Amino acid sequence: MKKHLYLAVAATSLLISGCVTLNDYTTPKAETQTEAKTAPTQQDAKAFLQNAEAEIVELALRASKIYWINSNFITQDSNWLAAKVGEEAGLLSTRLANEAKRFNGLDVPADMARKLDMLKRGSNFPAPDKPGAAGELATIMTELNATYGQGKFSYKGKEMSLGELSNIIATSRDPQELQAVWEGWRTVAPPMQKDYARMVEIINEGSKELGYADTGVLWKAGYDMPADDFTKEADRLWNQVKPLYDELHCYVRAGLNEQYGDEIVPLDQPIRADLLGNMWAQSWGNVYDLVKPEGEAPKVDITALMAKANYDEIKMVKVSEKFFTSMGFDPLPDTFWERSLFVKPKDHEVVCHASAWNLDDQDDIRIKMCIKKDGEDFKTVHHELGHNFYQRAYKHQPVFYKDGANDGFHEAIGDMISLSITPDYLVQIGLLDANDVPPASADIHLLMQQALDKIAFLPFSIMMDQWRWNVFSGKYKPSEYNAGWWDLRTKYQGVRAPAARPVGAFDPGAKFHIPGNTPYMRYFLAHILQFQFHKAACDMAGNTGPLHRCSVYNNKEVGAKFNDMMRMGSSKPWPEALEAFTGTQKMDGSAIIEYFDPLIVYLKEENKDKKCGW
Q: Which residues are catalytic?
A: 384, 513
Please give the Cα distance from 419 to 239 (Å, whole number): 23
Please give the Cα distance from 295 to 427 (Å, whole number): 25
Which residues lie below 8 Å from residue 513, measured CB to CB, with a gap of 6+? 3, 464, 519, 520
Outline where DSSP puts E strands in 428-556.
Answer: 495-496
Please give the Cα distance from 28 to 22 (Å, whole number): 11
Q: How many residues does the chain have?
A: 614
Question: Taking the chain, what is the end-to-end CA distance rounded to the nearest angstrom?
Answer: 26
3-state helix, strand, coil in the chain (%, to 5): 60, 5, 35
Please give the Cα distance from 167 to 376 (Å, whole number): 13
Please give the Cα distance from 252 to 254 (Å, whole number): 5
What is 55-66 written as a DSSP string? Answer: HHHHHHHHHHHH
Asked if 444 and 599 touch (Cβ cutoff 8 Å), the reply is: yes
- State which H helix or E strand residue 595 sits in: helix 590-595
What does the H/E/C string look like for 465-487? Answer: HHHHHHHHHCCCCHHHHHHHHHH
Supply φ then ψ for residue 58, to 5 degrees.
-60, -50
Outline where DSSP puts E strands in 257-323.
Answer: 271-272
